[in-house]
Amino acid sequence: MKPTLSLGIWLLILALCTGCVVLGKNTEYQPFDPALLEPLLPGQSKAADVCKVLGAPSQVVELSNGNAYVYQRSVIKGTGVWLVLVSFLNGEEQHDRVVFFFDKNDLLTHYGMSLNAAKASYGFPF
């Protein structure tokens, strides 16, 4: 390979690889500890018991036969890569969420839990 061509290719590679990478993470509150939920029993626990263990809910929804208390924590992970002409940005948001269902007497009837916040990951948008 001719020296000029070789130099040119190295210059091109150097130029195209110039850029920066950013990794960011945003966490909203702390993750749930499933062990905290063990004393909460459907048919026995009241809304006040749930609030005593988990604190104030993120959201309260009035339902046709009672209320739902929603507890949510979020993790967002973002990745950014800026090259000379091209940039890639990616974000992933996952949640830990527990929803408690209460009847009209504030008695816990059911609850459902999804723990996905730890699954948020860095990556590329392709």
Rounded to an integer, what distance in angstroms lies between the CA atom of residue 62 and that of residue 89?
38
- Number of residues binding to other proteins, judged by CB under 8 A: 43
The token duo for 112 is 């459902």
- Can residue 102 be called a binding residue for other proteins (CB under 8 A)? no
Q: 48 or 86, CB closer to other proteins?
A: 86
**Beta carbons of 96 and 31 less than 8 angstroms apart:** yes
If one asks whether residue 65 binds other proteins (CB under 8 A), the answer comes out as: yes
Cα-based distances in Å from 71 to 24, 28, 64, 95, 121: 24, 12, 20, 10, 22
Among 1, 3, 5, 48, contact with other proteins (rule: CB under 8 A): 5
Q: In what order do the strands lie in the sheet with 66-82?
A: 20-28, 66-82, 59-63
Supply the minimum distance, in Å, between the C-beta of residue 48 and other proteins: 20
Binding residues vs other proteins (CB under 8 A): 4-5, 8-9, 11-12, 15-16, 42, 61-65, 68, 70, 84-95, 97-99, 101, 109-114, 116, 119, 124-126
